[in-house]
Amino acid sequence: MLRLQKFLAEAGVASRRAAELLIRAGSVEVNGKVVRELGTKVDPAVDRVAVEGQRVQLKRKLHVALHKPRGYLCTRSDELGRSIVGELLPKEWGNLYPVGRLDRESEGLIFMTNDGEFALQLTHPRYGIRKKYLATVTGRVEPRQLKSFTVGVRHMGDMLKAEKARIIDSNNTRSHVELELAEGKNREVRRLFESLGMVVERLQRIQIGPIKLAELKPGKWRTLTEPEIKSLLPKL
């Protein structure tokens, strides 16, 4: 038996938190009856679960590492017809969604999945999954400036912070900086440099937890191995 919200998460409908909202909204039926109680348990082999009239069944969980190129959106659809990351995967994997986001002009490692629990543990701040980025910045970056990043910078009402920051190389024209973040607020790396009046020319995510981008080429993907999944989710 599974709690209903866990069943919906494992079926790839939504994260567990989003599934709870669906239940409270009356969008979920069990054996033809609307269920709003979060503690409800279901037997996947016996009970018929539907969300907004569409039957939901457990699917094989997929966990994919993708090298997102520039110009792609991390969303399942786009009303303007712009390129989305799902187009880089096999058509039969149309139910996969991105775990977290990279903005359209950023590139690098992102996970795609239909596993709501996996997505929750990788994106919720309390789990503190660290991510590494390589930023190419216009102009010279000084060590004292990076020190402010690790202390914390107030920007547009948010406190932005890097856990680690180091200069790989720097000159008067361009600098290459590696940053490690634990929370990952919206456009956080770009905003850290904006707080210094600096522009990020290129931004690449090179690592999530222990999983590295390594030799994965832009637009290419691979499935994560069981040991890799366990290394990301030690609490499961």
Looking at residue 115, its pLDDT comes to 87
- Does 126 have pLDDT greater than 80? no
Q: What is the DSSP string of 30-94?
A: ETTEE---TT-EE-TTT--EEETTEEE------EEEEEEPTT-BSSS--TT---BGGGGS-GGGT
CA-to-CA separations, 125 to 80, 107, 120, in angstroms, rounded:
31, 22, 9
- Does 70 have pLDDT greater than 70? yes
Residue 127 confidence class, pLDDT cut points 50, 70, 90: confident
Q: Is the pLDDT higher at 70 or at 114?
A: 70
- Domains annotated for the chain, with CATH where assigned, are 2-56 (3.10.290.10), 63-126+214-232 (3.30.70.580), 130-208 (3.30.2350.10)
- Does 123 have pLDDT greater than 90? no
Looking at residue 236, its pLDDT comes to 43
Candidates 43, 47, 78, 103; catalytic one: 103
User: What mean pLDDT comes out for the span 151-180?
Assistant: 94
Catalytic status, residue 43: no
